[in-house]
Amino acid sequence: MDSSISRRRVFHQTFTARVLAASGVVLVALAASSFFSSAPTSAQTWADPASGQYLNDWLYSHGGSRHVQYDMQTGELLLVGEVGHGMDHFSGSGAFWWCSFGGHASSPILSFLMRESTLEYHERPMYYPPGLGLPYTNSGQYSLIRLEPLASQATVVNKANAGTDYPDDYTEIPNGNLEYFLYRQVDGSFNIAVMDDGVAQEIEIGEALGDGSSNRDNGVRIDIAFRAHLPLPAAKFGWTQVLGAHSAAYATEHPTGF
């Protein structure tokens, strides 16, 4: 980071401002569709792989909704949702902050993308966040994808000797070195997380203690504004085609016991 830029920025923006910023990400993403002659003009829940259209889906939990958009041409996944999503600290498996992101059946499209990406790429170096341990790095038990923050994304921690009232009790920390990821147990619910190591390097003594409980509830909050690059073979998308009398079942790799 440029030395002229302060390591810390006090978080003064309001809830409404963050909502508008997050909404702007969606608008920018949709505006970018003009570069693809075959891009859809409205959200769709199916697409033909040959046309290069988008797949869209939505999740809802904890009072917040999340928009999922996948570009079948480029493999870019965008996740945009609410501001200030509160997280709990977990000390096991390398230590990370986490929170529920959606029920087990809340996004069939995201379930598919996470599972197929894990099966396709889990053996590649750096597929998993550095420091993360078992069982989350077991591809037979968990689907997992790493996330990159969009330009609008903010990560905040509650101040020393403060409560957890958002946004007044929080201060923003740099997110450039933070490791975000989305994970779910096979056929389980969705969870979003950030590794604690990066957070710990950015906070002062007494910060990110949350509500004072053992799991430091709401010690960290994140804006849901992320992207991931998940290019998958076209053959994986047979299920997106319009069905007809001659449709056939598509190949699936079944996890043990399913």
For residue 15, the tally of other CB atoms under 10 A from its CB is 12
pLDDT of residue 51: 52
Looking at residue 157, its pLDDT comes to 98
Distances (CA, A) of 78 to 4, 104, 231, 256: 31, 19, 13, 30
What pLDDT score does 244 carry?
Answer: 79
Q: Please report the pLDDT score of residue 185 as a whole number.
A: 94
Range of the domain at 177: 15-41+53-235
Backbone angles phi, psi at 96, to 5 degrees: -155, 165
Give residue 6's pLDDT.
40
Residue 226's pLDDT is 98
Structural domain includes residue 141: yes
Please check whether residue 76 lies inside any domain of the structure: yes
Q: Are 191 and 26 in contact (CB under 8 A)?
A: no
Q: How confident is the chain (258 residues) per 10-residue block, as mean pLDDT? A: 39 34 34 30 40 81 86 94 96 97 88 95 96 97 98 97 96 98 94 98 97 96 97 82 76 74
Amino acid 52: pLDDT: 54
- pTM equals 0.77
Residue 63 located in a structural domain: yes
Neighbours of 27 (CB within 10 A): 9
Q: Would you say residue 150 lies in a domain?
A: yes
Predicted confidence at residue 37, as pLDDT, reads: 27
Any domain includes 106: yes
Q: Is residue 246 part of a domain?
A: no
Give the SS3 label for residue 145: strand
Q: Is residue 184 part of a domain?
A: yes
Q: Find how far residue 8's CA is from the centre of its chain.
A: 24
What's the domain count of the chain? Answer: 1
d(CA 184, CA 178) in angstroms, rounded, equals 20
Rounded CA gap, 18 and 14, in Å? 6
Phi-psi region of 93 (alpha: psi -120 to 50; beta: other; left: phi over 0): left
In a domain, 173, yes or no: yes
- Cα dihedral 28, 30, 34, 39 in deg (nearest 10): 160
The CA-CA-CA angle for residues 111, 90, 183, to 5°, reads 10
